[in-house]
Structure 1
Amino acid sequence: MVDRPYIIISCTMSIDGRLASKDRYSQLSCPSDKRRQHILRSEVDAVLVGAETVRIDNPKLTLKYAHGKNPIRVIISNSLRFNVNNTIFTTPPPTIVYTSKLNEESSEKKQIIQALIQKGVEIRYVNDMSICSIMRDLYITKNVKKIMVEGGGTTIWNFIKENCFDEIRITISPRIFGNGISFAQGEGFTGSSAPRLQLVNVKLCECGQEVHIIYRKISN
Structure 2
Amino acid sequence: MPSKLKFGVVVFPGSNCDYDTYFVLEKIFNQDVKFIWHKDRSVGDVDVVILPGGFSYGDYLRPGAIARFSPIMEDIIRFANRGGKVLGICNGFQVLVEAGLLPGALLRNSSLRFVCKYVYVRVENNDTFFTSLCDEGEVLKLPIAHGDGNYYVDDETLKKLIDNNQIVFRYCDRYGNVTEESNPNGSIYNIAGVINEEGNVLGMMPHPERCSEPVLGCTDGAKIFNSLIHSLLFTEEFFK
TM-score, normalised via structure 2 length: 0.32
Which structure exhibits the higher relative contact order, with contacts defined as CA atoms closer than 8 Å and separated by 6 or more residues?
A: 1
